[in-house]
Amino acid sequence: MKRAFKFRFYPTDVQAAELTRTFGCVRLVYNKALAVRAAAWSDEQRNISYSDTSAMLTGWKKSEDLAFLSEVSCVPLQQSLRNLHGAFANFFAKRARYPRFKSKKKSRAAAEYTRSAFRWRDGRLTLAKMSEPLAIVWSRPLPVGSMPSTVTVSRDRAGRWFVSMLVDDFVEHHAPTTSAVGVDAGVTALVTLSTGEKIANPRHEEKERVRLARAQRLHARKQKGSNNREKSGRKIARLHARIADRRTDFLHKLTTRFVRENQTIVIEDLNVKGMLRNRRLARVIADASWSQLRRLLEYKAAWRGRQVIVVDRWLPSSKICSKCGHRVGVMSLNVREWQCPCGDVHDRDVNAAKNILAAGLAVAACGDGVRPTQRELVRHLSEPPYRG
């Protein structure tokens, strides 16, 4: 399988200048090709292929105004045209929206190098148009004997430089197990498991909220276009980067544990985009990053031979008794415990996690995409070892 390994590196002044120039040329070529393709379709209903834009790039390099495109490596420029072609293919296949122009301030600064545009020797990476290898901080080793097929260099808003190497790797499956767990996402507790365990929400953004607000107030007072405003913008970006890094690290450790300990993991299909419209909860929901949690779980489970089951988002998991199947009518968010007519007292989140697990097992038994009935939920909850 193809696997990307991302590392931070510290370029020299010459390397930083060369990469910055390459980023600008990549963005320019992408925007010009997008403009040409959009104009050709709107004016003539004519589709322009990748080979057409590649021929246009050759002509752009020969023009007097764009002669500077020849000063950087041609491979990242060609890769930007391939990326644009892929973006249009995804749009026509209804997998993505229409491609947008890249912004100098808001878009990701990146350049992609294929095998012909870099040299890999004795664990040292040298890019085209550079005489010295990159000073990479090797936080973890690459697979033994691996050779990068593609290298992507990027710079984030905080000014940090990263290099991502795509290599062939083999990931061993975990030993099969019979354990299964239901996961209920929340705000107070980030996740609640069907075993009764609750994992608290670290709320990384809330811990930095005071510093972030102060930095944003100072940034707003700076004159637009000044160096001081640019410096304060980088300071805000560093705060956001630290928050994102801590959140990602926590989610990686959490999902790795779930995949290692369980053969089957059942989660809800949450409408996170719709939930973010709630002004009272939008900030804490965004900080919880439920979408990233699901994404990490799904690809790690696929790597390790585990199964992730996603149940219907309309399943009333909090309102159904995990023992008898009785369903209550209305339950507000401030109700954290409730008693069923059968006599059981339920913790709202633990009960929801048990119902999610039962629904996932019912879906696995009935077939993918089948929404289980309350009778099926009760039957799966009563079967060992998932007795509530």
Q: Which of 184, 205, 287, 376 is catalytic?
A: 184
Q: Is 184 a catalytic residue?
A: yes
Q: Which of 18, 205, 268, 287 is catalytic?
A: 268
- Report CA-CA distances (Å) from 97 to 27, 50, 111, 233, 276: 19, 19, 22, 29, 20
Phi, psi of 185, deg, nearest 5: -80, 145
Q: Is 172 a catalytic residue?
A: no
Q: Which of 112, 205, 287, 349 is catalytic?
A: 349
Phi, psi of 245, deg, nearest 5: -65, -45
Q: Is 13 a catalytic residue?
A: no
Please give the positions annotated as active site.
Answer: 184, 268, 349
